[in-house]
Amino acid sequence: MKYEILHDLSIPKIGFGTAQLGGRLFNDPTRDEFFLSALRSALELGYVHFDTAEFYSGGHAEQLIGRALHDSGLKREKLFITTKVWPVNLAYKKVLRACENSLQRLQTEYIDLYLIHWPNPLVPLQETFRALNQLAREGKVKHVGVSNFNLKLLKQAQALAETPLITDQVHYSLSDRAYAGNGVLEYCQQNDILLTAYTPVKHGRIASEKALQAIAEAHHATRPQIALAWLVNQPRVIAIPMSFNPKHQKENIEAADIVLSAEDMKQLS
């Protein structure tokens, strides 16, 4: 597994996304064993970065992750947990309360990386960061970041954070390069901020379809693996693919070790 080394952090290039864990928009407890089995499989394969949010299945995703990580017996310091606060909770007191609720559901004393899930124009960013900075000072949150922020908001967040801003989590893939085009990717790479790619194997027509197939065959890999490798071969880019299928989980985490040549990258880009 490859890592990004950033400040005092060592973060895996491939993490485990959980947007549909526990159900989609709503909690579905009838499938708890299925989801827990998927989490156990991921842990056995070596995943240590789990990305979630208070919004996912109404907080149930956090509960399942907390339970699986607790039952795994792994030392807390070996794990890296990212979660996010939803836009309706970005006022100062609401951020503090949301964090406490996430800590309880995750069964942990601290969150490694706490993100603003989406910007909320109705709440001043200064107010939200007043709470995030306080949580960081108290040790309840080790690091802070944002998600779905454009370049202007990213710069504002960076200026407001008392600790280094760790990431901007955005949709980024071979078929969706909006955040490369709008300047966010370049800014992150130049300012030691990670771009965390969600939906990193997004289905969609891409100009490099034939190149993708040819490169996959040359590396004895699958097309999704090459799509992931294209991301994580870029500096300051990590990815959080989601799969509950052990076979695909294994393929995803192994994609981090695929080394693409400069010509491979050029063809895909």
Res 51: pLDDT:
98
* CB neighbour class for 266 (10 Å; exposed up to 12, middle 13-18, buried from 19): exposed
Phi-psi region of 94 (alpha: psi -120 to 50; beta: other; left: phi over 0): alpha
Q: What is the pTM of this model?
A: 0.96
Considering 47, 56, 114, 179, which one is annotated as catalytic? Answer: 56
Task: Sketch out the chain's domains with CATH numbers.
Answer: 3-205+235-259 (3.20.20.100)
- DSSP for 178-237 reads HHHHTSHHHHHHHTT-EEEEESTT--S--TTHHHHHHHHHHTT--HHHHHHHHHHTSTTE
> Could you tell me the two tokens for 136?
């960081």
Residue 56 designated active-site: yes
Per-residue pLDDT of the chain (269 residues; tens, 9 = 90+): 899 999 889 999 999 999 999 987 778 889 999 999 999 999 999 999 999 999 999 999 999 999 999 999 999 999 999 999 999 999 999 999 999 999 999 999 999 999 999 999 999 999 999 999 999 999 999 999 999 999 999 999 999 999 999 999 999 999 999 999 999 999 999 999 999 999 999 765 666 788 899 999 999 999 999 999 999 999 999 999 999 999 999 999 999 999 999 999 999 98
How does pLDDT run across 151-175, given as a tens digit for each residue?
999 999 999 999 999 999 999 999 9
Cβ atoms of 95 and 131 closer than 8 Å: yes
